Structure 1
Amino acid sequence: MLKKEGLPSINELCIATVDKIFELGAYVKLDEYGGLEAYLPWNEVSSKWVRNIREVIREGQKVVVKVIRVDRKKNQVDVSLKRVAEVERKRKIKEWKRARRAEKIIEAAAKKLGANLDEAYSEVWLKLEGVYGDVLAGLEEASVTGAEALRKAGVPDRWIEALMEEIPKHIRVKQVRVAGRLIMMTYEPDGVYRIREIFKSLAEVPGEGITIKMYTEGAPRYVVELIGNDYKVLEATLSELVSKAETLGKKLGVSISFERIKLG
């Protein structure tokens, strides 16, 4: 699925595998172009003088190269190692690793469906890439918001169930937390039950994808903790909880104050 068609463009960054090393250069295979052979001249290996090219590269090594010449008539490509800036190298490697992760998920789904990789590429890969730019980003969105993220990209229904089964095996959604402390006091004889009613009402506030934890630090101090995937949504939900607690407190004769808790 990672195979690109045709030849790369000038200045394009490519993941390559060093294939053969000679005294005056090396041949590498461009992984994203189906193993297309490219030539790495000796003077494009390093910006520093080296006695032996093997001091810099070795057979089988994965490297990031920049395309410097393309002869489309002869189907020949020359690349450079020294012209790749460190920030470019890191960015390309990150993109490559993300693409490989996405590839594994889609291949596993294809296996379940008995579909071939060409079908997976046209029906899933290109659809997600077209909408999200990064295929893994589309799969990550599906892990958070559900199958609708795949439908939005135009992924056929027959793929969606298989993908949604595979995504949790490969993508772990990073969760965030917010918390606050409610100080609730009342002098009414049934005060415990009034505070309990407030807790019951607060438990109904959080929407889908948000976990709420409420526990006491010892009366009259009670902690409310929210866990979810979106910090802004959690902040808004916590504000809603506090507002609802204050409204109910006035009705039930319970004085309420709130303070944020910083989580490490």
Structure 2
Amino acid sequence: MASGGPNLECRMYEAKYPEVDMAVMIQVNNIADMGAYVSLLEYNNIEGMILFSELSRRRIRSVNSLIRVGRIEPVMVLRVDRDKGYIDLSKRRVSEEDIARCEERYNKSKLVHSIMRHVAETTNIDLEELYIHIGWPLYRKYGHAFEAFKVIVTDPDTILDPLTYEVKETGPDGQEVTKVLPAVTPEIKDALIKNIRRRMTPQPLKIRADIEMKCFQFDGVLHIKDAMRKAEAAGTNDCPVKIKLVAPPLYVLTTQTLDKEQGIATLNKAIVACTEEIERHKGKLVVKDAPRTVSEIDDKLLREQMDNLSKMNEEANGDSDSEEEEDTGMGDVDVENAGFHE
């Protein structure tokens, strides 16, 4: 940290030490003869210790299989000596439920801390001062500052404007006077809102389902196109549905939404509409993969698959013009003209 700059070191919570029987997130720093020395990540890296006897309920065959330098994980607080600063911890006493709750809390706290630290740095204010005036009051009022930050994304005034703090001054008559001041200056408010919106604005999820669809009737291609249109018509403004041909008879349905359950329900509705239409013409639809969230990696793999199939089709078409393809019941679907390519 540059000389004269703000102090950016501070615990995440108002309490200087964790409570006994509380699960906390630690990072292992060193393994000694008696146990492991660790840093409590939520409490400004104060030191704690896990005795080897508190590593596992079972017989320890290898310490390295249970704990390693650099590892980050939840443990249980056994004892806290506030005078001497000793904190004894246990890995073997932390339950699966404790682990889940600790990880959820820590991930939220880490995001809040990152935002607060950046705001303190850019506005040249000590991080602890920012926590005293803004962060910890929000923890007290909302249970976790993360919940308040979520509201700030859309309604910052409701959360930030009521925050105040008191200062005591000596008046002209020598009497002590208490003044109530706004905790959030315009500069801090602007920095907070910008950082929170940049880091916490929810990103839409991509939901996808894979189906196989066939129709061997005369004009089967047209019936498949009609079924695809029915699927897209099942979408809404919040959950638009798109359907693409990968390679006959494989298709993918996709939608993007902030609400995972809504997206899955919409795609299921689209599959039902598509099934009813194709079966009306004695076709068949089979769900290969039910609606689920997909990542950018999944999208990339799908694009690569479609590109490879497209190249293979081009090479096949260049070699010969086989009329046997007419027997598939699919033909060459003009997906682009039907509005199914992005």
**Hey, what's the Cα distance between the residues in 2 that align with 1:57 and 1:76?**
20
Code of the residue aligned with 1:25 in structure 2: it is G
1:34 aligns with 2:44: yes
Q: Name the CA shift for 1:3/1:98 in 2 (closer, same or farther; >3 Å).
A: closer
**Hey, what's the Cα distance between the residues in 1 that align with 2:55 and 2:235?**
59
1:221-260 mapped onto 2 (5 Å cutoff): 225-226=237-238
Q: How far off is 1:222 after superposition?
A: 11
Partner-residue secondary structure (3-state), 2:75: strand
Partner-residue secondary structure (3-state), 2:191: helix
**Hey, what's the Cα distance between the residues in 2 that align with 1:50 and 1:82?**
11
Q: How many residues align?
A: 194
Q: How far off is 1:144 after superposition?
A: 2.8
**Hey, what's the Cα distance between the residues in 1 that align with 2:53 and 2:123?**
49
1:164 aligns with 2:212: no
Q: How far off is 1:169 after superposition?
A: 1.2
**Hey, what's the Cα distance between the residues in 1 that align with 2:83 and 2:128?**
27
Partner of 2:125: 115
Which one of the candidate residues 17, 20, 35 is aligned to 2:27?
17
1:167-192 CA-partner distances (Å, limit 9, x unpaired): 2210123669xxxxxxxxxxxxxxxx
Code of the residue aligned with 1:21 in structure 2: it is I
Q: How far off is 1:229 after superposition?
A: 7.5
**Hey, what's the Cα distance between the residues in 1 that align with 2:139 and 2:83?**
30
Unmatched 5+ stretches in structure 1: 177-216, 231-260
Code of the residue aligned with 1:172 in structure 2: it is T
Q: How far off is 1:138 after superposition?
A: 0.8
Code of the residue aligned with 1:2 in structure 2: it is R
Partner of 2:11: 2
Partner of 2:115: 105
**Hey, what's the Cα distance between the residues in 2 that align with 1:223 and 1:31?**
45
Unmatched 5+ stretches in structure 2: 1-9, 165-182, 206-228, 240-256, 260-267, 271-290, 292-342
Tell which deviates more after alignment, 31-40 or 48-57.
31-40
Partner of 1:173: 202
1:198-250 CA-partner distances (Å, limit 9, x unpaired): xxxxxxxxxxxxxxxxxxx89xx9986358979xxxxxxxxxxxxxxxxxxxx
Q: How far off is 1:160 after superposition?
A: 1.7
Say whether the 8 Å CA contact 2:234–2:269 is kept in structure 1: no
Structure number with bigger Rg: 2
1:20-53 CA-partner distances (Å, limit 9, x unpaired): 2134322222222332222211111012222121
Partner-residue secondary structure (3-state), 1:225: coil
Q: How far off is 1:90 after superposition?
A: 1.9
**Hey, what's the Cα distance between the residues in 1 that align with 2:117 and 2:83?**
34
Say whether the 8 Å CA contact 2:42–2:106 is kept in structure 1: no
Say whether the 8 Å CA contact 2:119–2:191 is kept in structure 1: yes
1:56-107 CA-partner distances (Å, limit 9, x unpaired): 1111211211111233444322110010011211221121111111122222
Say whether the 8 Å CA contact 1:25–1:53 is kept in structure 2: no
TM-score, normalised by the number of residues in structure 2? 0.49
RMSD in angstroms over aligned alpha carbons? 3.2
Say whether the 8 Å CA contact 2:24–2:42 is kept in structure 1: yes
1:118-161 CA-partner distances (Å, limit 9, x unpaired): 22111221122122111111111111334323224555243222
Code of the residue aligned with 1:76 in structure 2: it is Y
